[in-house]
Amino acid sequence: MNASIMNIKAIVTDIEGTTSSIDFVHKELFPYASKQLPAYIREHQDDTGVATQLQAVRELINKPDADIETLIATLLQWIKDDNKATPLKALQGMIWEHGYRAGAFTGHMYDEVAPKLKKWFDSGIALYVYSSGSVAAQKLLFGHSDVGDLTPLFSGYFDTNIGHKREAQSYQNIVEQLALPAENILFLSDIVEELDAAAQTGMCTMQLVRKPNVITGNHATAHNFDEIHFNTA
């Protein structure tokens, strides 16, 4: 159905299942990271950025003396479990950067997403991304998308450093950073629990229902970005 929402000044969008196919993430990005991770970690373990994330893994598993092979095994298991641990997401982003720059893949976008994002941007709507993937990974996906570099359209990015996506406080933190009334912000996601959390702050919400037989909640729904309509006044 077409859904209308009033007085929107900013849009915060999820990625997986919203702008981009879940299959791209789970069938291309995750397998690539799994395949490349062991060699990447062994080769770059002393790099500052990698070392910082590896130390964070040790802290999360409460094993301060864990060796590299233990950390690699932990990270691979986290990928298998779709664990949203922040250090894993950071390391995946580093590995995916290599893949994007090598041309191993491009960031999938549903056909209508880029034109609609550009239309919203041109109309003065501020655009943001909130995903469990790291900010670096988000920028890579949009920067190396199927249709070119979309990063100039976005005003900012949020990942689990702002909070986890099913917790209302995360969205309150975003509202405060955007410095707008919550009712002037529209959050787009395919996940009911994320939308529920955002709605607790007073944000407007829209569920993307791109596949049949999807569980919907008490939110406006749209099958694609072309069905999303709102006023900006």
How does pLDDT run across 163-183, given as a tens digit for each residue? 999 999 999 999 999 999 999
Of the two residues 39 and 2, the one the predictor is more confident about is 39
Confidence at residue 6, expressed as pLDDT on a 0 to 100 scale: 67
Kindly state the average pLDDT of the residues 17-28: 93
Extract the tokens encoding 151.
């990063």
Domains of the chain: 3-20+107-230 (3.40.50.1000), 25-101 (1.10.720.60)
pLDDT of residue 227 exceeding 50, the answer is yes
pLDDT tens digits, one per residue of 56-69: 999 999 999 999 99
CB 35 within 8 A of CB 206: no
CB 145 within 8 A of CB 106: yes
pTM of this structure: 0.84
CB 164 within 8 A of CB 130: no
Strand partners, 57: none
pLDDT of residue 232 exceeding 80, the answer is no
Kindly state the average pLDDT of the residues 132-146: 93
Q: What percent of the chain has pLDDT over 70?
A: 97
pLDDT tens digits, one per residue of 89-99: 899 989 999 89
Of the two residues 137 and 72, the one the predictor is more confident about is 72
CB 226 within 8 A of CB 112: yes
Confidence at residue 133, expressed as pLDDT on a 0 to 100 scale: 86
Computed over every residue of the chain, the mean pLDDT equals: 93
Q: Three-state SS for 189?
A: strand
Distance between CA atoms of residues 142 and 145, nearest Å = 5
CB 188 within 8 A of CB 12: yes
Strand partners, 208: 222
